[in-house]
Structure 1
C-alpha cells in the first residue's frame, strides 16, 4: 500500500512534460516546486499502471490501437511496475507526478507508441480513478486491522466473562456491570466503523475513467467494459461531476476520523483504569514507557499517542472539506492536496490500530481490584427496581431510595446497614427480602434484555461480533 516519497530526483537530458506546447517559457522555479506532487502520489504507481493497462485495452477495442501495439504497451507497463517494486526508478526534475513518471518511462521504452496511450484521457479522470483503485485496497486493509482489534477484544471478553466492575457515567460510579460488557461496548463502536467503511466501499465503486478533462470521451471508449475490467460496479453518470468529485475522499477520511475517535475513547478508558487509583488493568511493558526523571514511573504512552493521533486525523477531515468548499465545479489544482490529507489519515490510523491491537492483546485484567471497587451505593438502582416489583411507581421508588441514600450518607454507613424498620418508615413496601438485593452478581444477571450486562446477553454480543469477524475474514 505504501511507496516512499522519491528522494533521488535527477535532471534528465530532456524534460518530459504532459503539457506545454502553448507556453514560451518554463514555469517559475517556485511554481515548479509547489506544483510537484510526486512525493505524495508516488504511492499510486500500481493503481496508475493498472488503470493504464485497462485503458490501453479499451483503446484497442475502440480501434485506436492494434493488438500488437496494445500488447507492447501492456507488457512495458509491467516492466515499469517491476522497476517501481525494486526501487529502480530514477526521477527527473521535470517529473510532476506519478502520471508523468509512468508516461515518461513508457515513452522511453516504446517511443511514439507510448504517447498514444493518453489518447482521450486526462490526468483529471486518471487521478480520480487511481484514487478510487487505491481506496478499495485502503478500505480492505483498514477493515482487516479493525477485525484484528475486534478479535482481540472478543478474546479478552470471553476469557474474563463473569468479572464485575463499576460502570461509570460522568466518571462517577453508577451500576455494577461485567468487565466483558464494558470492553465489548468499544467493539460495538468499531463494528459501526466497519459498517461505514463497507458502505463507502460499495457506494464509491463507480468508475470515473472515460470522463476526459471534463466533457467526456469522444473516441468510442466503452466505459462499461472498462468498469468491469477494473472491478467497478458501474460508471459515473456525469463527466463534469466525476473529475471534480472528492466526496469519496472526504467520506474515507471521515471514516478514519470516527475510528480514531473510538480508539481515543478506548485509550482514555484504559489510561484511567491503569492508574494506581483504579488499578483495574495493567498495560504491558512493551506498550509502556518510563520517565527521564522519575524512576518509578510507568506511563501509558502508547495510549496517549492513540489519543493524540485522533486530533491529527480529524484535522485532515477539516482540511479536505475546506479545500473542496472553495473550489468551483470540475477539476481544480486545489484537489491535488486530497492525497496528503487522505494518505496521512490512513497511515496514522494504521499506526493507531496496530498499537491498539497490541495493547488489548497484552493487557492484564485485575479482577480483585475491579470487584473491590464495587460499593453498596451502586445498589440504589436495583433497590428502586425492588420497590417497582412491589408495585411502587418508579418515580416514587426513585424518590424513596434517594431518601435511603441520603440517610446512609448522613450516618456514614452503607445503605445495606440502614435497619429494616427505618427503611419501612421511608416506604412500607420494604420487606426482609431486601437483603437479597445486596448481591452484585445476582443483580447483574437481571439485566438480560438484548444488549444488557447479564451473561446471557454478553454471550449474544460475542456471537454477533464473531459473525462480523467471520464476514470480514471472508472479504479480506
Structure 2
C-alpha cells in the first residue's frame, strides 16, 4: 500500500508507477537518508513530539537497516517509489507502529533536500583531494623540467620561448582555482533544510538547530520555502565541475598534440595508451581523448539542472527529481577522470630535445630581438619593423635569427653587435623573463613553492 493511499480510490497505474519511481537511481542515498532520519528521530524524542523509547526504537531499527543494506541483504522495491519510502516501509515492517511515527513533522521535500545536500557535502572534499593529488604530480613534473625549453603558443602558432615547468604551473594555477571554487560551493551549501517540511515547517516544536548540528551542518537554512524549492548549490557545483573538466579537457588536448609524431614532445606510458585493431604502429592517447569527451557529460549535467529549474514556481515540483541523475553522473565522471588523468601525466616521458628543436624554429625569439634594439634606444615600434624585415629575410634564405651573420644583422640596423647572439639564445630569452609569474627558472621555482604551499595547507 502506498504511504499516501488514504486520499486515493485507485491503485497507481503500473506505467505511472515505473515512470514516477526514482529508486533505480536514488538508492545510493541510503546512508544519507538513514543519517537524516536518525537525527530527525532523536530530535522528535528530545522535543517530546514522540516518546523517547519510540525514538530509540526507531534509531535502533534504522541502524539495523543500514547494516543490512551494507551487507547486501536488502532488495529495494519499485512499489515504494524512492529511497525514503523504501526505508520507512522497511522500518515499519520491522518495528511496527513506532516506525510510522518517524515521519512526524517531516516531508519528503525536506527529506530529499537534506539527503542530496549531505551527499554533495561528502563528495566535494573527495573531488578536492583528487585535484590536490594532480597538483602534486604537476609540481613533480615542473621541478624535473625547470630547464626544459619549449615553444609557447598563441593561435597554436609558435610565439615565445617558455619551459615545460612553466607550462605545468599554468595548469596548476587553473586547478588551484578549481579547488577554491569547490570550497566556496561547500561553504554556501553548508545549511540544513531538514525541518522545513513540505514548504512551511510544522506546528510541532521541532528544533532545526539540533538536527543541523547532528548532521554536521553549520546551521539550518533561513527560509523553509527556499529550503525545499531551490537546487542552486547543485547548479553551482555542476558549474564548478564543468570548469574543472574544461581545464582537464584543454590539458588533454595539449597531450594529444604533444604525443603525436608531428610534435613528439612527450611519450605516454604504455599503461596509459591503447593500440589499434588494424594498424600495428599506433599508440593512441585514449585516456586524454576520453577525458576530453567526458567533459561534455558534465556540461550536460549543468544544462540539465539549469533547464529543469528555469520555470519552476515555488515550492517543490516533481521536476526536481531529475536533479539526482545529473548530479550523480557528473560527480561520478569527475571522480573517474581525475585519478587516471593524474597517473597519465605522472608517467609520461618528456622529450627535451624535441622541444628544444621546435623552440629553435618559428622565430620565437623575435620579440627578444626587438627588445634588444629597444634597450639600445630604438622605439619599440621601429624595432618591431626591423625584426619583421629580418624574419622575412630569414624565411627567404632558410635561416633563423640565430644563424644570421653579424653582417646580415647590420645590413638592417647598425645597432646590432656581437652581443645579439647571447640575447637571442633561447635559455637567455627564458631566464631573462624574471617578471613575477614568468618562465625564468627562479620565477617558476616561486610558482612551484606557492602551489606546494597551497597543497600543504589543504592536506593537513
Q: What TM-score bracket applies, with the shorter chain setting the length?
A: over 0.9
Distance in 2, matches of 1:141 and 1:79, equals 27
Verify the 8 A CA contact 1:165 1:374 in the aligned structure 2. Answer: yes
In structure 1, runs of 5+ residues without a counterpart are: 1-14
Report deviation, 1:421.
Answer: 4.3
Q: Secondary structure at the match of 1:91?
A: coil
Distance in 2, matches of 1:189 and 1:453, equals 16
Q: Across the two proteins, how many residue pairs are aligned to each other?
A: 459
Verify: 1:257 aligned to 2:242, yes or no: yes
Which of residues 178, 186, 192 in structure 2 aligns to 1:207? Answer: 192
Q: Secondary structure at the match of 1:378?
A: coil
Verify the 8 A CA contact 1:38 1:97 in the aligned structure 2. Answer: yes
Distance in 1, matches of 2:159 and 2:401, equals 15
Aligned 1:64-463 pairs, distance under 5 A: 64-375=49-360, 377-463=363-449
Structure 1 runs (4+) greater than 6 angstroms displaced: none
Report deviation, 1:137.
Answer: 1.0
Report deviation, 1:405.
Answer: 1.0
Spell out, residue by residue over 1:241-278, the C-alpha distance to the aligned partner (whole angstroms, 9 max, x if none): 11011001111111111111111111110010001111
Verify the 8 A CA contact 1:267 1:304 in the aligned structure 2. Answer: yes
Report deviation, 1:422.
Answer: 4.6
Verify the 8 A CA contact 1:132 1:204 in the aligned structure 2. Answer: yes
Report deviation, 1:140.
Answer: 0.8
Counterpart position of 1:28: 13
In structure 2, runs of 5+ residues without a counterpart are: none
Distance in 1, matches of 2:383 and 2:12, equals 79
Verify the 8 A CA contact 1:124 1:213 in the aligned structure 2. Answer: yes
Distance in 2, matches of 1:424 and 1:93, equals 85
Report deviation, 1:395.
Answer: 2.4
Counterpart position of 2:451: 465
Verify the 8 A CA contact 1:62 1:219 in the aligned structure 2. Answer: no
TM-score, with normalisation over the residues of structure 2?
0.97
Distance in 2, matches of 1:164 and 1:423, equals 25
Spell out, residue by residue over 1:390-422, the C-alpha distance to the aligned partner (whole angstroms, 9 max, x if none): 222222222221122112222222223444345
What's the Cα RMSD here?
Answer: 1.4
Q: Secondary structure at the match of 2:152?
A: strand
Counterpart position of 2:31: 46
Report deviation, 1:218.
Answer: 2.0
Report deviation, 1:18.
Answer: 2.7
